[in-house]
Structure 1
Amino acid sequence: MDKKLTGMFRSLSVRNFRLFATGQVVSVAGTWMMVMAQDWLVLSLTGDSGTALGTVTALQFAPFLLLTLHGGRLADRYDKRRLLIAAGLVSGTLAGALTGLVLSGAVELWHVYLFALGLGTVNAVEVPTRMAFVGELVGAELLTNASALSAAYFNIARVIGPGVAGLLVSVAGTGPVMLLNAVSYVATVLALRMMRPAELQLSAKPSDRPRTVDGLRHVTGRPDLLLPMALVAVIGLFGFNFQLTLPLVAKTVFHTDATGFGLLTTAFAAGSLLAALATTARRGRPSSRTVITAAFAFGLLTTVAGWAPGFLTAALLLALTGFAAIYFAQAANHRIQLGSDPRYRGRVMALYTLVFQGSTPLGALFVGRLSQEFGARSGLYVGGIVSLAAATAAYGVQRTRRRRPRSERPTPSHQPSRSEGAYRR
């Protein structure tokens, strides 16, 4: 590792990022094993209730609606590495407590609800902090590549985790799988502790206490940030509900066991991984056209996946859908993150997290109810069609804006700093 790496793995030349990625691969693999085991546990406790599964998903993401912007403010004010260490310790403790209940046979549905709410509260701080921390690990020059590699290891874990979890659940039940997840948080904490703080590329601290409203003004005053943010909000609300739709499709449409559910999830994750690897070649800020085209492709493929007549066809279509999903998410992420002033990045990425993941509670409740009434396929149909409509509307807005004379276009609410100017293209 002494020589500078090139190509798609060039960010791994940074020691701190190597540690970060290693810890995350282990922890995220445990998380995806936990997701699979938790969903299967809920379905087992409730007799395949889509409403109950939607409630768990809603509770896990509800704190994003209330706390994520505050989490972004904390990320801009305090040491991000220490915040992430604290988040890992709390998450591991929560996972361990639920594991104990499952292994003892005392678990009830309300225990799962409570765990989901607690983990969501931690994630409301951890997610925007982690996204902003990547920039401190590698600097602006490698940020796009490091972000893409982060998505890659996330999806490597997503490929490995559910498949292994499906086999383990079939053989040993959900308890041992949850135990592995609880232990996996140790890897994250150790990796963060082993980093060299002196090598972090810290952004300039604000002169006073950072305010959430300043981050909001930064985004609303920038149409190039606002359009992808709006797309992310709509598609995150209606389209990104696979944690809910995949187990329902596996169990109620194709009547598979836990192994079959794991295979569908793995197919989706494999496509996502290929997309993440493809975006490692990106060296600059993607255009609005790239974001909108990816959104349109995602909507089309999600709709078609809802039609899949058989298990193998569904797995193939879900792999393609996974590719489009991550390609869109990465394009939107890079356009927003590379276009924002580093001084506001924690709060901007908190807003991104809020509109992307904070909308999940509402989407999960809606899709869960929809699936309960009209079948699991309806969740995919509606998510795909709404995403198509959102992409079409964004294309119309973009064309209208480009046709307007430059003098009539809205201007940013502030003059960009020298550091910000390098990101705006």
Structure 2
Amino acid sequence: MHWRDPFRVRSFRFQWPADLATSWAFEMESIVLGWFILVESGSVMMLVVFGSLQYLGSLVSPLFGVVGDRLGYRRMLVLSRALYAALAATFMLLAWLQALTPMIVLMMAALAGLVRPSDMMMRNALIAQTLPPRHLLGALGISRITSDSARIAGALAGAGVVAWLGMTWAYALITALYTLSFVLSRGVSDVPASAHDAVRVSPVRDLQLAFGYVWTRPVLMAAMALAFLVNLLAFPFSLGLLPYVAKNIYLTDQTGLGWLGASFAFGGLVGSVVLSSHRFAFRAAQTMVLAGAVWFAVDVLFAFSTHLGVGMALLWVAGLAQSLSMTPLAAVMLRATEPAYRGRVMGMRMLAIWGLPLGLLLSGPLIDRWGYATTAGAYSALGLLLTGAMAVYWRSNIWDAKAPANAPL
């Protein structure tokens, strides 16, 4: 299979640039608003609240899965990106009027956060529905490349545009990206809603079926557990708390923050390229566990780093490990799930994202009490220990080389 094969499908040719524009805007917005909150409030607690609110919608992602299975993901994708564009335009107007405050940012972040965590779920479900099965893994890798490359460009552009032109022009660019994404998303194929039930059941019953489906499949439970662990104990220090690390540990400015974010993203990009190249016969489940363990081990070192260059190098390795863990994890879940349940199961996968705001909220008071290095080191060491325990507990399902989950990527 060639990496260009997914682009032979018309829907993917529209979805790929639409997802790219959305990802660029996401990353720029996170950097711009995170720095604004930290500078204007001077509070690490307000920063972690802002980071947590962006993932508020992970609690209702299973409902998005139910709605997607019923109404179709193309319609949901278009509506959500229209919302992103409208909110960004509002931010731009408030910045131009010099009326933007940390509390307004938090309120609007909560609104966007209701939808934003489900964006990746909708992307993956659409890819699984619109592309032939033989192209699934390659398309997931290519889709991941767009996210990782966007993190690089978004991190650098977000910090650079604010420093150079100011908040208003930064949000003009973000609004343009969301608008472009909305227009391109309209070209994605409108896949008919699933007809998995001859008789339509209630949304509550749909959710009960999805929870039961995941609970009785050890491979899905293991993937969910690992996803929750990395969101709880790894992502807080490479995403939500990165402005704090840049300002208070490395004593740098917005540009330094952009380089730190770009380092993590570039490592992820390299990992995605490796996976999508099909040059290596990775065992999917083993790869996700081993890479997750490496990620936590690198984070232990990052916790005690005080030099910007060393921190960038460690973040690059962490980003590489993150990609080599999370992309196989998505592939394991999609391959282990029947088509009729994909939307709901991937919606449940988004519940694991709630580990990120939980980890952020817990880290705030712990950093105030014990300091950043001790808190970050404890998080990472605990994550490494629990990853090993998880691999032992589900060893026959995710570690045995002959297990179906270890079919080569």
Structures share fold, TM-score greater than 0.5: yes
Name the CA shift for 1:103/1:378 in 2 (closer, same or farther; >3 Å): farther
Quote the Cα distance in structure 1 between the aligned partners of 2:212 and 2:144.
Answer: 28
Given that residues 25 and 153 in structure 1 are in contact (C-alpha distance below 8 angstroms), is that contact kept between their aligned partners in structure 2? yes
Name the CA shift for 1:243/1:108 in 2 (closer, same or farther; >3 Å): same
Name the CA shift for 1:325/1:424 in 2 (closer, same or farther; >3 Å): closer
Q: How far is the alpha carbon of 1:125 from its aligned partner?
A: 4.5
* Structure-2 residue corresponding to 1:240: 235
Task: Specify which of 273, 278, 283 is matched with residue 274 of structure 2.
Answer: 278
Q: How far is the alpha carbon of 1:167 from its aligned partner?
A: 1.5
1:397 aligns with 2:403: no
Quote the Cα distance in structure 1 between the aligned partners of 2:273 and 2:253.
Answer: 31
* Structure-2 residue corresponding to 1:360: 356
Quote the Cα distance in structure 1 between the aligned partners of 2:252 and 2:106.
Answer: 25
Q: How far is the alpha carbon of 1:375 from its aligned partner?
A: 3.4
Q: Tell me the TM-score normalised to structure 1 length.
A: 0.87
* Structure-2 residue corresponding to 1:57: 51
Q: Which amino acid aligns with 2:197?
A: P
Tell me which moved more, 264-273 or 288-297: 288-297
Task: Tell me how large the CA RMSD over aligned residues is.
Answer: 2.6
Name the CA shift for 1:343/1:170 in 2 (closer, same or farther; >3 Å): same
Name the CA shift for 1:378/1:97 in 2 (closer, same or farther; >3 Å): farther
Given that residues 286 and 334 in structure 1 are in contact (C-alpha distance below 8 angstroms), is that contact kept between their aligned partners in structure 2? no
* Structure-2 residue corresponding to 1:33: 28
* Structure-2 residue corresponding to 1:315: 312
Task: Specify which of 257, 260, 282 is matched with residue 261 of structure 1.
Answer: 257
Q: Which amino acid aligns with 2:211?
A: L
Quote the Cα distance in structure 2 between the aligned partners of 1:88 and 1:226.
Answer: 31
* Structure-1 residue corresponding to 2:345: 348
Name the CA shift for 1:392/1:182 in 2 (closer, same or farther; >3 Å): same
Name the CA shift for 1:292/1:274 in 2 (closer, same or farther; >3 Å): same
Deviations 1:173-196 (Å, cap 9, x if unpaired)? 223212211221122221122245
Deviations 1:24-61 (Å, cap 9, x if unpaired)? 212211221111100110011112x2101001111221
* Structure-2 residue corresponding to 1:104: 97
Tell me which moved more, 17-26 or 201-210: 201-210
Given that residues 285 and 339 in structure 1 are in contact (C-alpha distance below 8 angstroms), is that contact kept between their aligned partners in structure 2? no
Given that residues 71 and 124 in structure 1 are in contact (C-alpha distance below 8 angstroms), is that contact kept between their aligned partners in structure 2? no
* Structure-2 residue corresponding to 1:142: 135
SS state at 1:317 partner: helix
Given that residues 235 and 386 in structure 1 are in contact (C-alpha distance below 8 angstroms), is that contact kept between their aligned partners in structure 2? no
Task: Specify which of 169, 185, 206 is matched with residue 197 of structure 2.
Answer: 206
Q: Which amino acid aligns with 1:383?
A: Y
Task: Specify which of 78, 82, 89 is matched with residue 89 of structure 1.
Answer: 82
Quote the Cα distance in structure 1 between the aligned partners of 2:374 and 2:95.
Answer: 32
Deviations 1:119-174 (Å, cap 9, x if unpaired)? 01122544422221111221322111111111100111111111122221212222
* Structure-2 residue corresponding to 1:411: none
Q: Which amino acid aligns with 1:73?
A: V
Name the CA shift for 1:9/1:46 in 2 (closer, same or farther; >3 Å): same
Q: Which amino acid aligns with 2:3?
A: M
Quote the Cα distance in structure 1 between the aligned partners of 2:192 and 2:324.
Answer: 27
Q: Tell me the TM-score normalised to structure 2 length.
A: 0.91
Q: Which amino acid aligns with 2:210?
A: G
Tell me which moved more, 318-327 or 204-213: 204-213
* Structure-2 residue corresponding to 1:380: 376
SS state at 2:100 partner: coil
Name the CA shift for 1:369/1:179 in 2 (closer, same or farther; >3 Å): farther
* Structure-2 residue corresponding to 1:413: none
Quote the Cα distance in structure 2 between the aligned partners of 1:201 and 1:293.
Answer: 38
Quote the Cα distance in structure 2 between the aligned partners of 1:270 and 1:373.
Answer: 33
Quote the Cα distance in structure 2 between the aligned partners of 1:326 and 1:362.
Answer: 22
Quote the Cα distance in structure 1 between the aligned partners of 2:167 and 2:372.
Answer: 23
Q: How far is the alpha carbon of 1:329 from its aligned partner?
A: 1.0
Quote the Cα distance in structure 1 between the aligned partners of 2:213 and 2:283.
Answer: 19
SS state at 2:157 partner: helix
Q: How far is the alpha carbon of 1:386 from its aligned partner?
A: 2.1
Deviations 1:340-396 (Å, cap 9, x if unpaired)? 1111000110111111x1222211111222233333334532332122012110122
Deviations 1:320-350 (Å, cap 9, x if unpaired)? 0111112111121111111111110001101
Given that residues 161 and 170 in structure 2 are in contact (C-alpha distance below 8 angstroms), is that contact kept between their aligned partners in structure 1? yes
Q: How far is the alpha carbon of 1:309 from its aligned partner?
A: 3.5
Tell me which moved more, 345-354 or 273-282: 273-282
Name the CA shift for 1:124/1:264 in 2 (closer, same or farther; >3 Å): closer
